[in-house]
C-alpha cells in the first residue's frame, strides 16, 4: 500500500470520529496558550521605590523627600543617604527651606524596595527583588522558558517517533502541568528558572506532538483545517483566557495553580484519544492500526472492509519510504542552500517579531490585562486570514504583504505623539495580526519549498531558529525600559526586511511538491 489516505477514505472526511479527534486534540493545546505567555504576569514589574525603614528616624517632611526625582518621577533605584537625612531631621531643619535637597548625596536601595500593589499583589519580581541591579534577571527568566522550548523541539520528534505519538503527548502534558505546579513551591529565582526550562520543554513537545498526531489521524481535508483553524485557534483560546485569570488572581503562586487546572483535565483523554495508525504501521503493529480504524468506522456508522491494511504491502511501502538523507542535504545544491539560508533568516526574524510583540504587554500604555487580551484575541482573525490567503493567493505575496504591512505599522508608532497612546496600541495590535498570519503561513510554505526527502529536516531547522528568535525576543522588550520606542523600531525594521526577503523564494501555489533535491525550483533573482 502506498497511499494511507486512500485506504481509509471509506471513513469520510468529517464523521463523528474525525470531529471527536479534532476537538479533543485541539482542546489539549489550551494549556499551552496559558503557559506560553504566563510569564507576562508571573514576572511583571510593578512600580517600586527604595524602602525607607522606620529605623531611619525621619520626620514626615524628610521621609517625603527621601527619594530623588528622575525625569519628573521618583527614582526606582536610588534614594538620598538616610544617615544625612536623619541628621538634618534630628536638628529640626526642613527640606527646601533650610537645606537644598538636590545637593544631598545619593545611595542605592540598601534596605530593599517597596512595591505598588495597585495592579499585582505579588510577582516573582516582588518576591525576589528582580529590579534595578538585578533587572537583567527579568528577560533572562523569559529566555529560560524558550531555552526549554528549544530543547523540547530537538527531542520531542525523536521521542514520539520512538515511543509513539500518544504516549509522548500525555507524558508532556503531565510534564508541563506537574512541573508548573512544582514551581509554586520555588524558594528562590534560581529554582524557579530551572523548573521553567522543564516547563518549556513540556509545552512545545505537547503542542508539536498534538499537531503531528492530529495530522496523521485525520484525512486530507480535515488535516488542513486542523493545522490552521484547529490547533492554532485553541492555543489562542488559552492565550485569551490567561489575562482573565490574571485579572481575578493577582498573586503569582495562586495564578500558577489556576492556569494549570486545564492541564489536569486533559489527562483523562488518554482513554479516548487513539494512537496514530500510521505510526503503528511503521512499527509493524498492523493489527492495532486496523483495530483503531475499525473502531472509527463504527463511530462513523460506516462499513469497513474486512481487511484494511495488508502486512506485506505495508512492509514494502515502509522499505520504499526509507531514506538516508541527512541535515547536510540542506546545503547540497545551490537552490537548496539559498532556500535554507533564507529559511533560517525568515523564521528567526518572525519569531523575534511575534514574541517581542506578545511579551511587550507591560510596555504598552493602559490596562495590562486588557492589552494582553487584545493581543491574544487578534490571533483569531490572523489564523482565518492566513487560511484564506493560503487557499486563494500566491504564497510569496501573502507572506510578503502581511510582513510588510506589519513592519510598517510598527515603524509608524515612533511618529505617533506620546499622548495618543491608544493609537500606539492599535498599531501594535495590527502589527501582531500581520506577523501572526505570516508566522502561521510559514509552516505550509516551508513544507512546500523543500523536497519530500528532506522536508521534515527543513521544517525542523526553521523551527529551531524560530526558538532562537524567541530566546532573543525578551531582550527587545527589555530595551523598552530605556527607550520605549526602540523595540518598535527594531521589530518593525526586521519585519520589513523579512517581508522583502520572502520575495526571493520560488512560488509554490498550485505546483506539485518536489520529491527530490533536483526537483526544487530555482530561487528568484
Q: What is the pLDDT of residue 524?
A: 62
* pLDDT in the model for residue 400: 92
**Residue 389: pLDDT over 80:** yes
More confident residue, 309 or 87: 87
Could you report the per-residue pLDDT of 10-28, keeping only the tens digit for each?
777 788 888 898 899 988 8
Look at 77-81, 194-198, 320-324, 498-502 and tell me which has the smallest mean pLDDT.
320-324
Q: Give dist(CA 488, CA 258) in Å, integer.
A: 33
Helix, strand, coil % (nearest 5) of the chain? Answer: 70, 5, 25
Q: Are the CB atoms for 389 and 396 separated by under 8 Å?
A: no
DSSP secondary-structure letter at 303? P
Alpha carbon distance 325, 453 (integer Å)? 7
Torsion of CA 468, 473, 479, 481, to 10 degrees: -140
Phi, psi of 6 (to 5 degrees): -70, -35
Average the pLDDT over 361-374 and give the result: 83
Give the C-alpha distances (Å, rounded to integers) separating 387 from 48, 219, 443: 45, 17, 12
Question: How many separate helices (H) and strands (E) can be counted in the chain?
Answer: 24, 6
The mean per-residue pLDDT over the stretch 349-358 comes to: 89
pLDDT score of 509 = 80
Cell 504591512 found at: 405
Q: Return the CATH fold of 1-40+127-322.
A: Growth Hormone; Chain: A; (1.20.1250)
Instruction: For the chain, give the percent of residues with pLDDT over 70.
Output: 91
Quote the pLDDT of residue 452. Answer: 62
Please report which confidence band the pLDDT of residue 35 belongs to, taking 50, 70 and 90 as the band edges.
confident
Q: In the prediction, which pLDDT does 515 show? A: 65
- CA–CA gap between residue 210 and residue 217 (Å, rounded): 11
Q: Where in the chain is the domain with CATH 1.20.1250.20?
A: 1-40+127-322, 325-525
Confidence band (pLDDT; 50, 70, 90) for 192?
very high
Which residues, other chains included, contact 250 with Cβ-Cβ below 8 Å and sequence gap of 6+?
119, 120, 121, 122
Using H for helix, E for strand and C for coil, what is the string for 341-391?
A: HHHHHHHHHHHHHHHHHHHHHHHCCCCHHHHHHHHHHCHHHHHHHHHHHHH
Residue of higher predicted confidence among 460 and 18: 18
Question: Each residue of 205-219: pLDDT tens digit?
Answer: 888 888 878 877 887
pLDDT band at 141 (very low <50, low <70, confident <90, very high): very high
Q: Is 314 a residue whose pLDDT tops 70?
A: no
Kindly indicate the confidence band of residue 126, based on its pLDDT and cuts at 50, 70 and 90: very high
The residue with greater pLDDT, 460 or 55, is: 55
Strand ranges inside 18-152, DSSP E: 48-50, 69-70, 73-74, 78-80, 106-108, 113-115
Q: Please say if the pLDDT value at position 5 is more than 70.
A: no
Q: How far apart are CA 148 and CA 201, in angstroms?
A: 4
Q: What is the 3-state secondary structure (H, E, C) of 158-201?
A: HHHHHHCHHHHHHHHHHHHHHHHHHHCCCCCHHHHHHHHHHHHH
Residue 2 clears pLDDT 50, i.e. is over it: no
Cell of 458: 527543513
Indicate the CATH number of 325-525 among 3.30.230.10, 1.25.40.80, 1.20.1250.20, 1.10.3720.10. Answer: 1.20.1250.20
| 79 beta partners | 107
- The mean-pLDDT minimum among 282-296, 316-330, 419-433 falls in 316-330
13 with 221: CB under 8 angstroms?
A: yes
Task: Transcribe 432-447 into DSSP letters.
Answer: HHHHHHHHHHHHHHHH
- Decide the pairing of beta strands 106-108 and 113-115: unpaired
pLDDT value at 321 more than 50: no
Which pTM was predicted? 0.82
Task: Report which of 53, 78, 48 is spatially closest to residue 63, judged by C-alpha positions.
Answer: 53
Average pLDDT, the chain: 84
Report strand pairing: 73-74 vs 69-70.
antiparallel
Q: What is the mean pLDDT of residues 126-151?
A: 90
Amino acid at each position: 500500500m502506498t497511499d494511507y489516505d486512500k485506504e481509509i477514505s471509506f471513513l469520510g472526511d468529517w464523521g463523528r470520529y474525525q470531529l471527536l479527534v479534532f476537538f479533543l486534540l485541539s482542546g489539549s493545546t489550551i494549556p499551552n496558550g496559558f503557559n506560553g505567555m504566563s510569564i507576562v504576569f508571573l514576572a511583571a514589574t510593578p512600580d517600586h521605590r527604595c524602602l525607607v525603614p522606620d529605623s531611619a528616624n525621619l520626620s514626615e517632611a524628610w521621609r517625603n523627600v527621601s527619594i530623588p526625582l528622575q525625569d519628573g518621577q521618583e527614582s526606582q533605584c536610588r534614594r538620598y543617604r538616610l544617615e544625612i537625612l536623619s541628621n538634618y531631621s534630628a536638628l529640626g531643619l526642613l527640606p527646601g527651606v533650610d537645606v537644598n535637597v538636590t545637593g544631598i548625596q545619593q545611595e542605592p536601595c540598601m534596605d530593599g524596595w517597596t512595591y505598588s500593589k495597585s495592579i499585582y499583589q505579588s510577582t516573582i519580581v516582588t518576591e525576589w527583588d528582580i529590579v534595578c541591579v538585578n533587572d537583567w534577571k527579568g528577560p533572562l527568566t523569559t529566555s529560560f522558558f524558550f531555552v526549554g522550548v528549544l530543547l523540547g523541539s530537538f527531542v520531542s520528534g525523536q521521542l514520539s517517533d520512538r515511543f509513539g505519538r500518544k504516549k509522548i503527548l500525555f507524558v508532556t502534558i503531565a510534564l508541563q502541568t506537574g512541573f508548573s505546579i512544582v514551581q509554586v513551591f520555588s524558594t528562590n529565582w534560581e529554582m524557579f528558572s530551572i523548573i521553567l526550562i522543564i516547563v518549556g520543554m513540556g509545552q512545545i513537545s505537547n503542542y508539536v506532538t498534538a499537531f503531528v498526531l492530529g495530522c496523521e489521524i485525520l484525512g486530507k481535508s480535515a488535516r488542513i483545517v486542523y493545522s490552521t483553524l484547529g490547533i492554532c485557534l485553541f492555543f489562542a483560546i488559552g492565550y485569551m483566557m490567561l489575562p482573565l485569570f490574571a485579572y481575578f488572581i493577582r498573586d503569582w503562586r495562586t495564578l500558577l495553580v489556576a492556569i494549570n487546572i486545564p492541564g489536569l483535565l486533559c489527562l483523562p483523554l488518554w482513554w479516548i484519544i487513539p494512537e496514530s495508525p500510521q505510526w503503528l504501521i511503521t512499527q509493524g503493529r498492523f493489527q492495532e492500526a486496523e483495530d483503531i480504524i475499525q473502531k472509527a468506522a463504527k463511530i462513523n456508522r460506516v462499513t469497513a472492509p474486512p481487511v484494511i491494511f495488508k502486512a506485506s504491502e505495508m512492509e514494502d511501502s515502509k522499505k520504499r519510504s526509507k531514506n538516508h538523507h541527512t541535515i547536510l542535504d540542506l546545503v547540497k545544491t545551490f537552490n537548496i542552500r539559498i532556500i535554507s539560508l533564507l529559511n533560517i533568516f525568515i523564521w528567526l526574524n518572525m519569531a523575534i517579531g511575534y514574541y517581542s510583540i506578545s511579551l511587550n504587554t507591560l510596555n504598552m500604555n493602559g490596562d495590562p490585562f486588557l492589552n494582553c487580551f487584545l493581543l491574544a484575541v487578534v490571533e483569531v482573525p490572523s489564523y482565518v486570514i492566513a487560511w484564506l490567503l493560503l487557499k486563494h493567493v500566491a504564497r510569496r505575496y501573502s507572506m510578503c504583504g502581511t510582513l510588510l504591512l506589519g513592519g510598517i505599522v510598527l515603524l509608524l508608532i515612533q511618529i505617533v505623539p506620546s499622548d495618543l497612546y491608544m493609537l500606539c496600541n492599535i498599531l501594535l495590535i495590527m502589527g501582531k495580526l500581520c506577523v501572526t498570519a505570516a508566522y502561521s503561513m510559514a509552516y505550509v510554505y516551508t513544507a512546500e519549498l523543500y523536497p519530500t526527502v528532506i522536508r521534515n529536516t527543513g521544517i525542523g531547522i526553521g523551527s529551531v531558529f524560530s526558538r532562537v528568535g524567541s530566546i532573543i525576543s525578551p531582550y527587545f522588550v527589555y530595551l523598552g525600559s530605556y527607550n520605549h520606542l526602540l523595540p518598535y523600531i527594531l521589530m518593525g525594521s526586521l519585519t520589513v526586511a523579512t517581508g522583502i526577503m520572502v520575495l526571493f523564494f520560488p512560488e509554490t501555489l498550485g505546483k506539485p511538491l518536489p520529491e527530490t533535491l533536483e526537483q526544487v525550483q530555482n530561487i528568484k533573482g
